[in-house]
Structure 1
Amino acid sequence: MITSEDTAMLSALKKDNTLEAYQYFFMKYYKPLCLKASIMLGSMDEAREEVQKIFIEVWKTRQYQQIEHAPGGFFYQLVDARCRQLQETVVATAQQYKAPCPPCETGPALVPTSITTPLIMAIER
């Protein structure tokens, strides 16, 4: 849901490229975006890092000029796409380095059993 304050800040951001307007969006959406990313990535530290990278990239490339409606939705889509990309990379890397398990050639595994009394007595001597 876009608020009138969001609309005013977005207008100021697009018109004047003011850092204060961009900071407004960072302060408003940073925590919820980190929560979303941490759920997807399983790490709050990694989530914070990725959300910060996204905000920096959007500022440097002026992608905020592409925001048509809800800034929150815009940032949520970016975070979702980045997290999915990272998840796919992790899966692909894990599959790449996963060594195939060779078939067992030694037969069934031996299950350890308790040492029998005569053996214990022999060891103690």
Structure 2
Amino acid sequence: MITSEDTAMLSALTKDNSLVAYQYFFMKYYKPLCLKASTMLGNMDEAREIVQKIFIEVWKTRQYQEIEHAPGGFFYQIVDARCRQLQEAALVTAQQYKATCPPCETGPALVPTSITTPLIMAIER
């Protein structure tokens, strides 16, 4: 739900590129976005870094001018997409790592066998 303050700040941001308005959105949405990213990634430090980078990228590229209605939804979508990309990249990396170590390249593994009965009897004597 967009508040009247959000509407005023969004207007100032899109018309005047107001840094104060952008800081308002950062302060309002930083913690909830970090919680969302942390839930998806399982790491709060990584979540904070991602959210900070997103805010920096959106400011530098002036992507905030694309916000039409709800700034919160705009940032949530970006965070969700970025976290999904990171999850997919981690999955691909894990699969590649697993695939690069086939056990058959070194030959058959030596499998320990049980000690035979004559050997056990010789040891017990």
Deviation of 1:18 (Å): 0.8
Over the matched positions of the two proteins, sequence identity in percent amounts to: 76
1:116: which partner in 2? none
Cα distance between partner residues in 2 of 1:97 and 1:42: 21
Aligned: 1:102 with 2:106: no
Aligned: 1:15 with 2:15: yes
2:120: which partner in 1? none
Could you list the runs of 5+ residues in structure 2 that have no partner in the other structure?
Answer: 115-122
| Per-residue deviation, residues 71-93 of structure 1 (Å, max 9, x unmatched) | 00000000000000011111111
Deviation of 1:102 (Å): 2.4
Equivalences, count: 117
Deviation of 1:97 (Å): 1.5
Structure number with the higher helix fraction is 2
Cα distance between partner residues in 2 of 1:41 and 1:4: 33
Deviation of 1:9 (Å): 0.3
TM-score (norm 2): 0.82
| Per-residue deviation, residues 25-47 of structure 1 (Å, max 9, x unmatched) | 00000000000000111100000
Cα distance between partner residues in 1 of 2:28 and 2:66: 19
Q: What RMSD, in angstroms, separates the aligned Cα atoms of the two structures?
A: 2.4
TM-score (norm 1): 0.82
2:80: which partner in 1? 80
Secondary structure (helix, strand or coil) at the match of 2:103 reads: coil
2:45: which partner in 1? 45
Could you list the runs of 5+ residues in structure 1 that have no partner in the other structure?
Answer: 112-118
State the AA in 2 paired with 1:21. A
2:56: which partner in 1? 56
Cα distance between partner residues in 2 of 1:50 and 1:11: 26
CA pair 20-110 structure 1, distance change in 2 beyond 3 A: farther
State the AA in 1 paired with 2:23. Q
Cα distance between partner residues in 1 of 2:60 and 2:110: 61
Cα distance between partner residues in 1 of 2:46 and 2:77: 17
